[in-house]
Structure 1
Amino acid sequence: MEGATIVGDVDLLERASVWNHVVLRGDLNNITIGQVSNIQDRTVIHAARTSPTGLTAAALIGKFVTVEPNCTLRSCRIQDYCIVGARSVLMEGSMMESHSVLAPGSVLPPARRVPTGELWAGNPARFVRKLTDDERDEIRAVAVEVRRLASQHSAEELPHGTAWRGVEAQRAAQIDGGLYGWVDLRRAKYNIRVKEEQDAAARRL
């Protein structure tokens, strides 16, 4: 997507989507985004060299994971089928087990673990309740829908290239050949304003 920055050791697996102005910093360690997972607008994911838990400091995100906008993830692990709410922060060594949800605006401290099938919220994040069967099923559906939107956005974007240079060269050739005249709009507007001021001064006399 537009404005996304991907640096270093970053693996994007099949049908993963990275949205506008996301930053993936794999300069110190690996970042892996699993199949059909999505990282939404202005989220930052980066990895430290080492983790306080002694586990890998890589940032590992499983499949069918939705990371909503404005999140910060650092050297954490998110298993399959999870949702990270908008503006959440996951710190070093934290972990979300499969089929779990972190509510918007939550902070998961270092080495804290969200067990499977649970909803956590708050700063620091704490257990709220168990997810219903419908909510667990909805996690996959959300990721699939975001993947569909990513494909739609991709189809609607103009291709990047240098075709504009050919258009500019053709226009310059037509101007040189006298087919079109070059109009200095700034000068034209200035001349109109001067003429209007002159006419107004003449009417006052």
Structure 2
Amino acid sequence: MPIYELNGRSPQIHESAFVHPDAVLIGDVRIGANSSIWPSAVLRGDSSYIEIGQDTSIQDGSIIHCQTQFPTIIGSRCVVGHNTHLEGCVIEDQCLIGSGSTVLEKVLVKKGALVAAQSLVPPGKTIPEKALALGVPVKIKENAVEENSFEDGVNHYLELTKLYKNTLKRIN
């Protein structure tokens, strides 16, 4: 897997985490226990840092950047869907960021919230706890997400991580 030091800063990957060989990690990137980074994901911690909590999946094709004054922090037990773009934002624990969504700088997605697929969260927006945010730009529906709504997704990726860690073999 391409892992790069940049300006003296190197990715820190917990020993129980899984980073697919086709993912790219650059600079100050911190991956928590049992988290997974899937094919074609790019995490570029160049101007600040990126932190991924425990049991979180960053799915295929996702791009995560940071900005000088705005690190990107993703909590524990989150599901970040395919082809997302996260930049300079904070995603608290137990959130789901739907496939194809964009979450920009100074955004705070509070615990248990859901950003629907293909949504745009513009700079400076706060998504309340357990809220559903959807659309371009997002409209917010408060208290629309039930407690632990994403546990099946989290657990699916924890199991998939075990499978990949134990059986993935490149054949060409």
Give distance in 1, aligned partners of 2:51 and 2:151: 19
Name stretches of at least 5 consecutive residues in structure 2 with no aligned partner. 1-19
Write the deviation string for residues 89-112 of structure 1: whole angstroms up to 9, x where unpaired: 000101100010010000000010
**Largest Rg, 1 or 2:** 1
Q: Secondary structure at the match of 1:10?
A: strand
Give distance in 1, aligned partners of 2:151 and 2:111: 11
Name stretches of at least 5 consecutive residues in structure 1 with no aligned partner. 51-56, 161-205
Q: Superposed, which structure 2 residues align to 1:14-163 within 5 Å? A: 14-50=33-69, 57-133=70-146, 136-158=147-169
Q: Deviating runs (4+, > 3 A) in structure 1?
A: none
1:6 and 2:25 matched: yes
The alignment covers a number of residue pairs equal to: 152
Q: How high is the sequence identity, in percent, across the aligned residues?
A: 27
Q: Secondary structure at the match of 1:8?
A: strand
Cα offset, 1:2, TM superposition: 3.0
Residues 72-81 or 144-153, more deviating: 144-153
> AA paired with 1:59?
T
Structure richer in helix, relative to its length: 1
Cα offset, 1:144, TM superposition: 1.8
Give distance in 2, aligned partners of 1:4 and 1:158: 15
Structure richer in strand, relative to its length: 2
TM-score (normalizing by structure 2): 0.84
